[in-house]
A and B are shown apart, each in its own frame.
Chain A
């Protein structure tokens, strides 16, 4: 820059003051800060809403809540707290079934797409998986009731006949119809529903594995599978946990499919082949909400608060697992 002649006494015009991108830059800064804060505000608003709305039910739970809300029957062992207990148990049980089935399948799909399939097949399969994510949950519920449950029934029968001595697979009481509308069916449908999200995220993570590390493993005589265990899994570990937690989040909160498939019940039973044993929080709220009075709605919101807390806990746990070995992560 050439300095222009300045008449003495006037401030020299600075060439170094500002530049054309400065305004856009600060606008962007405020926009992104705003977006970031919005998350906090929303979260705080939801938490406050849940707490405030749940309070009337919580404070009345010890007293006459059972007289005012039709579905709360302390005399039958179904007070507010008991129901929440049963529902938390059912929600976690069904979600765990979904995760146990869904995660290995998803990881398998992701690995196949990222490391085994020929490129053209991989691309097609990737689109198909994404398509699976676009199916609405009502449709999954309908499909589960109309197709999957009848299809699984003989298998359940076999399972109950041969492995009924394991409490998990105990057959329904004699006289009860073997409907197949049970926790295991709900878990399987949920597993199918969470496969797209887990496999899509894991696939992206696996594709990020540095070529350098893959070649390092291969060059010392690792097979493809050994290379995956040595380079791909350790590198993608936190991503896989993140993906699984996303899936778990969906499974925990899923309403429609569970509502349509399961014959609901409120127990701490471990018999996943028996109907009328389990229900999830979300499905229970959806079931009771239309006929709930004001205090009933407060009670349901209390259950929603419980679901919120579970999800929060699960996410914090995942964060902790991921950060525990961050020193060894691929990031540094």
Chain B
């Protein structure tokens, strides 16, 4: 096992550190409790969405409906969860179960996840428009308090990222169940032969994705204070990019929760960095893509060198 394969996490960490150093150099004001929170607080929902996407990529599928799903959750959080918490919580629970059922259906009928989730994105989008036809709603007070809490010394955004990373690391990498789930992505047949019910495992992975999707939507509303049916459409692509940037691979089974969180932070920071550079918006999307390609190229080079060694 080569150096890079063993320390898969190294590249995302280095990318983030380099970008952070460059940002602080450009904008010294950002180097403060207040500044770091402003830079990263909107990365918290993205990190949660990235973890959700990671759960799907882990079992060798991909979720194209995540952005629409997070938007729907945001709409429900800003309306039902705020007005009648019990009903809101029940709806959110039903959504998580929906996700689990989707996973089971995709496996049982051998449907391509990319098609099913693409279809579901329109269902989620339609529901979101139905619940909130024009932007509005408001964040439940406790959620707003949670997302704007000011813990001593370490900003909320950093605390939340660390907690998300540690919890999902324990869940996916350390726990026995997590190992089996990654096995489903790596080689579903052998997991099945070993006597595991793959349908249930897939449902579990999708259910976890739904759960983190719900957390992402709630965190987002806590930050923005209200919702909009299109609020999180970008999250689909951001979350996929975050997983890959964080060392995950499309082949299934090879994911890193800590890397995914760092990937989400890196993507958010890249956008801010480009804005500080005063780069014309016409170039910004391209530049964001270039950063992504740069990191992936670096990864490929390291992997190749390891393979030769």
Q: Do A and B actually bind?
A: no
